[in-house]
Amino acid sequence: MSPAQIWFGLVAILLAGYAVLDGLDLGIGALYPFMARSETERESLRNAIGPLWDGNEVWLITGAGALFAAFPPVYATVFSGFYLAMMLVLFSLILRAVSLEFRAHDPAWSRVWDAAFFVGSALPALLFGVAVGAIMRGVPLTSSGEFAGSFLTLLDPYSLLIGVLGLVALIAHGASWAALKTDGALAERSRRVRSVAGLAFVVLAVLATVATALGAPDSWHNVVSRAGGLLFVGLLGAGVIWGRIGMRRHSDIMAFLGSALSVVSLVGIWAAGIFPALVPALGNSARSLTVSNSAASDTALRAMLVIAMIGVPLVLGYTVYLYHTFRGRESSAGY
Amino acid sequence: MDVLTLSRIQFAVTIAYHFLFVPLSLGLVLMLVIAQRRAYRSGTQEDDLAARFWLRLFSATFAIGVATGITMEFAFGANWAAYSRFVGDIFGAPLAAEGLFAFFLESTFIGVLLFGRERVSRRAYYVSAWMVFIGAHLSALWIIIANSWQQTPAGYIVQDGRAVLTDFFAAAFNPSTLPRFFHTVASTWAMGGFMVVAVAAYYLIRHEHVAFARQALRTGLTIALIMSFAMPLIGHWHAVQVAETQPVKIAAFEGLSATQTDAPMSIVGYIDTATGESKGIKIPGLLSLLVGFNTNTTVVGLDSVPRTDWPPLQATFQTYHLMVALGMLMILIALVGLYLERTGRIEGVRWFLKLLPFAPVLPMLAIQSGWAAAEIGRQPWIVTGELRTADAVSAVVPAGQVAATLAVFVILYTVLYIGWARVMFKTLRRGPVEIQASASDGAEPTSAA
């Protein structure tokens, strides 16, 4: 494997880590105004992610940094080409980042920060999927690798369908986390949302499969003809089934892990679908930004590999420590 | 307005705003570890409440710093795509390393500090404060590595129209990295010191939380004085480096039009932008003396490069001199303050005490103007000698979209500022006291598990 191929894998792993970890925060934020019925329940939901969301978000910051470092033209084309979508994601992440902290200290403005928390979670949960769909399908690129479309290019039916798929997946994922971390009536409600959203996800996933075969034939071909693609499709199915068995056995942890496996598999299917491109060009694959024509120099990639070999174990250590420290249910039974 | 101008305004607004909160959080995290250390060692309730108080001020500031920092990472790719293509080989690595080494560390242990009081041992809690401190400073190091490479690029060659890394350590520890890191960190600690002084003075004026305020005042003044004195020394080290590696910038700082020995240093004045010569009060020979320890030292003037390579002279000159003047004022205030405090008279000198809550404005302005001088003085280059700012902007982003997002930034950041100020003042008014059932300040256990 070339250093560029290794970095394709590492960026995918960082994005998968982001999807599975911050995905649960975004899902809870998207459910927040609907699932919690009292201030106590709202507080339970906030506490379920309180110490965790910041670290979860760093997976995205680091993933974007790694993309910048390893594939500069991809970072430049995607961020400038999807300008308005990226800025909407950015504004959302800013709102989400301050909302929980400010809300805790400023009850008089709780409605402002509650709204910021909801919008700042739900919007990226949708937009990430839209971006994934657009890239899966391919985007119009110029001969110099610049984006050749407009904001509306992103909003084609296929990308929107993948956006909704992602949103529903993260809602199910967030509900699975809430079921695991809260108790009482809120946990029961979370379990119902988890079940319904999980079924909706299955329906959408079937639709998305058909849509991909018809609307994104290159990616479709890659997924079904590659061992990696079929592996992740299998894991997606296994995750869904594992989650359903967990629900039936009243095991919230099993249901959550099934959901986590599904979310990771979605990122895996995406990566298998587009490799070796990072941004497939629509209609002209010679223009695609790929691991070979968009990678940084080998010197830079190797230097970064050393950084990653030191940094990644530390990150895994912190993450395990944090989730271990904050294991168990948050009580909403008053205090 | 064209895309370039709008993108420059957007970057200037968002980075200046981000850089209001970052120095404050670096300064406050220093006070946080000092307070957590006191609480850990004494175990008294007063020290514990003080530590929690500083944590609340820090965490609100940290949150807005994190939020507005994401903007910067997005901006490079979104608004400055041509820049990103040119520098990606070098500039991306420090950003990724900042995530891996700094952000994960900070975010994990701020979670422990805010939510984990009842879940970890006292020692682990105290160590968490240090972890956040280390993470915050590692973040400063990596981002200054990236920014310093723009100032004094090293360890690369230009190949096929982009910079290609040849030597990681030469690039990371380029000539300006270390002077700029220490210069920046010292300024943020000074910021923190003056902020602590302001809080303490506020309580002393109102005769509230007097024991807490007296201790904080002494700590704050000590930090402020040490850092205010350290600044000119580190600043001198930095200036000598700038004279060696970015001579045009120092010529603009001082309004030195012609290369000369016995170069004067400007104290106050203005630049005649037609000639590049400064007018006003100057001390003959001082610039040569400071740069080379000898008045015969030749200092390079603006005439060494074509006029098209000059930075905006007036802005560079004035922001630089404002920084220096504010630095002098900081020394004066810290010196008088610590003298009055040590001699036990400070609470009697009411007019001075009443000035102190406004003192943080000085380091804040000094930091903003110093950073502006460093960045404006680098123009017209975005990477010194290699890439012009005018050639760095995204080709595919329409001006209307940059204008629209700029408007959203202004509105959003105003709301954020109000939200932050409300939290800060609310915390300040309440003081270092026990707080009921507010989950995320670590005041109350929130878990039954």
Domain assignment present for A153: yes
All residues at 6 or more sequence positions from A201 whose CB lies less than 8 Å from its CB, including other chains: A165, A168, A169, A172, A240, A262
The pLDDT of residue B449: 33
- Residue B388 structure tokens: 């012009």
Q: What is the mean pLDDT of chain A?
A: 91
Q: How confident is the model at residue B258 (pLDDT cuts 50, 70, 90)?
A: confident
pLDDT tens digits, one per residue of A31-54: 999 998 898 899 899 989 988 988
Q: How far is the alpha carbon of A55 from chain B, nearest alpha carbon, in Å? A: 5
d(CA B145, nearest CA chain A) in Å: 14
pLDDT of residue B448: 34
A149–chain B Cβ distance below 8 A for any pair? no
Residue B26: what residue type?
L
Q: Are B89 and B156 in contact (CB under 8 A)?
A: yes
User: Is B130's Cβ below 8 Å from some Cβ in A?
Assistant: no
Q: What's the rounded mean pLDDT across residues B139-160? A: 93
Using a CB–CB cutoff of 8 Å, tell me whether B392 touches chain A. Answer: no
Closest to B104 (Cβ–Cβ): which among A55, A304, A330?
A55
Question: Does the pLDDT value for residue B213 go beyond 60?
Answer: yes
Span B358-369, average pLDDT: 96
pLDDT confidence of residue B77: 92
Helix (H, G, I), strand (E, B) or coil at B152: coil
| Confidence at residue B436, expressed as pLDDT on a 0 to 100 scale | 56
β-partners of residue B281 are B268
Q: Is A143 on the interface with B (CB under 8 A)?
A: no
- B43 phi, psi to nearest 5 deg: 70, 10
Using CB atoms and an 8 Å cut-off, which of residues 154-183 of chain B contact chain A?
A: 162, 164-166, 168
Can you read off the two tokens belonging to residue B408? 């959203």
Cβ(B285)–Cβ(B345) below 8 Å? no
Q: Between chains, do A83 and B77 touch, taking CB under 8 Å as contact?
A: no
Report the C-alpha gap between B249 and B238 in whole angstroms.
12
Residue B283 host element (H or E): strand B277-283
Q: Kindly state the tokens that stand for B445.
A: 């256990």
CB contact under 8 A, A50 and B116: no
Q: What percent of chain A has pLDDT over 70?
A: 98
Residue B116 has pLDDT above 80, yes or no: yes
Residues ≥6 apart with Cβ < 8 Å to B165: A296, A297, A299, A300, A303, B89, B90, B93, B155, B156, B171
- Give residue A188's domain range: 3-324
Q: Does A108 map to a domain? A: yes
CA B294 to chain centroid: 32
Reply yes or no on whether the pLDDT at B445 is more than 70.
no
- The verdict on residue A13 lying in a domain is yes
B212: which 2 tokens?
A: 């807490």
The count of domains in chain A is 1
3-state helix, strand, coil in chain B (%, to 5): 70, 5, 20
Cβ separation of B108 and A318 shorter than 8 Å?
Answer: yes
Confidence (pLDDT) at A331: 58
Query: Is residue A329 assigned to a domain?
Result: no
Distance between CA atoms of A51 and A55, rounded to whole angstroms?
Answer: 8
Mean pLDDT of chain B: 90
**How far apart are the CA of A253 and the nearest CA of chain B, in angstroms?**
15
Residue A10 touches partner B, C-beta closer than 8 Å: no
Question: Is B88 an interface residue toward A (CB < 8 Å)?
Answer: yes
Residues B104-128 have a mean pLDDT of 92
- pTM, 2 dp: 0.91
Interface contact B1, partner A, CB < 8 A: no
Contact B78 A79 (CB under 8 A): yes
| Nearest by Cα to A238 from A250, A227, A254, A224 | A254
In A, residues 176-205, which contact B (CB 8 Å cutoff)? 183
**CB < 8 Å from B in window 63-92 of A:** 63-73, 75-81, 83-84, 86-87, 90-91
A-chain CB neighbours of B68 within 8 Å are: 94
> Would you say residue A331 lies in a domain?
no
**Closest CA in chain B for residue A94:** B67
- CATH value at residue A68: 1.20.1630.10
Identify whether A330 is part of a domain. Answer: no
Helix axes B210-245, B177-206, angle to 10 degrees: 160
- Gyration radius (Cα) of chain B, Å: 23
Q: Report yes or no on A52 lying in a domain.
A: yes
The SS3 assignment for B157 reads strand
**Are A303 and B418 a contacting pair, CB within 8 Å?**
no
Does the beta carbon of B284 lie under 8 angstroms from any beta carbon of chain A? no
| pLDDT single digits (tens) B15-53 | 999 999 999 999 999 999 999 999 999 989 899 999 999
pLDDT at A332 over 50: no
Question: How close does chain B come to A200, measured CA to CA in Å?
Answer: 32
Whether a cis peptide bond, with omega within 30° of 0, leads into B380 is yes
Q: Which two tokens stand for residue B185?
A: 């960190």
Alpha carbons B90 and A56: distance in angstroms, whole number: 26
Reported as a single tens digit per residue, the pLDDT across A201-234 is 999 999 999 999 998 999 999 999 999 999 999 9
Mean pLDDT, to the nearest integer, of B132-155? 95
Rounded Cα distance between B356 and B220, Å, is 11
Tell if the CB–CB gap between B440 and A50 is shorter than 8 Å: yes
Please check whether residue B359 touches A, CB under 8 A. Answer: no
How far are the Cα atoms of A162, B152, B160, B174, B248 from residue A72, in angstroms, in the given order? 26, 21, 14, 21, 30
**Does any domain span residue A75?**
yes
Query: In chain A, how many H helices and how many E strands?
Result: 13, 2
